[in-house]
Amino acid sequence: MKIAIPSLKSEDKPIFIASGFILVILSVGTVYTLSTQGTAPLLSPGYLLQQLQTGSFLGIVAAGMMVVILLGHIDLSVAWTMTAAAMMATTVGGDLAIPVGIAIGVGVGLVNGFGVAYLRVPSMIFTLGVDSVLRGLMVAHTGGFAPQDSATPLMRALASSKLMGIPSAIFVWLAVSLVIAIMLKRTAFGRQIYLTGNREMAAYLSGVRTRRVILASFVVSGVCAAMAGVMLAGYSARAFQGMGNAFLLPAIAAVVIGGTRILGGQGRYAGTLVGVILIVLLNSVLSIMQMPEAGRQVIYGSVIICMLLVYGRGNKVQS
């Protein structure tokens, strides 16, 4: 009988390395602030919670994105799904605001899923088309300006109030994380996602209704993006054109830094969580250093490349 030796599984490696890198970012930032201002704001719980609050929107988008990436697909429509959900929620207003926003997410997810799963159009291009259709719909809806309606009190409360001293947005993020993590780990649907992502043909032959799995995954991604959009509207008190644009690429980067394979079939939710925190803290340290946009972009790209060179390397083709 072989005794199981506790060793670092390949799936856990990215999580440990990324966590280590978070510590590096925090210490570099602290050294910087200590040497220039003599204080260490990065280590104060209040500051960290505030950063996590702004990061929770990215976290929710990334959670949905991860489900789709696990299938080997990608959802490029999250940016305008967020904006559309936020705009429709503020337009409707009242008690129905949040349900309407979420419904937009479900609708977009169904369209995306139908195109990818049933029409068999590559997700890269289909979700891109859906994204531009959503943009067109919102421009037609608002006349190209920011709508005047403001977010409802409940939306604001979800995004910017505090519960027991902790921003409530973090609780929403945690709730979404729990649901996604349990779904991926403990439900048949979650296992079917991994199976389909690894080899759709094998999954199909084993009786998994892969089309429905893909459809449902895109709905999950759409709902997550819509939730993030509704909360972002609550955070900034209103919806505006292009409010989701800054979330697409960081969401993909967070998922990939967390060790999820871009071709699908492999990855853990904890990794995505760590990836989001890494990107949020990297951004906040760079803004503390008052790094100009140019430097940010270069550092941002270099960090992704370096992290992936450490643990994201594929296998050499040998046969």
Interface positions with another protein (CB under 8 A): 76, 115, 118-122, 124-126, 128-137, 139-140, 143-144, 200-201, 204-205, 210, 245, 249, 252-253, 256, 262-263, 292-302, 304-305, 308-309, 312-319
Pick between residue 128 and residue 174 the one whose CB is nearest to another protein. 128
Pick between residue 1 and residue 201 the one whose CB is nearest to another protein. 201
Pick between residue 88 and residue 169 the one whose CB is nearest to another protein. 88
- Minimum gap (Å) between residue 241 Cβ and another protein: 11
Query: Using an 8 Å Cβ cutoff, are 296 and 286 in contact?
Result: yes
- Minimum gap (Å) between residue 127 Cβ and another protein: 10
Pick between residue 135 and residue 268 the one whose CB is nearest to another protein. 135
Pick between residue 33 and residue 210 the one whose CB is nearest to another protein. 210
- Minimum gap (Å) between residue 272 Cβ and another protein: 14
- Minimum gap (Å) between residue 220 Cβ and another protein: 21
- Minimum gap (Å) between residue 88 Cβ and another protein: 15
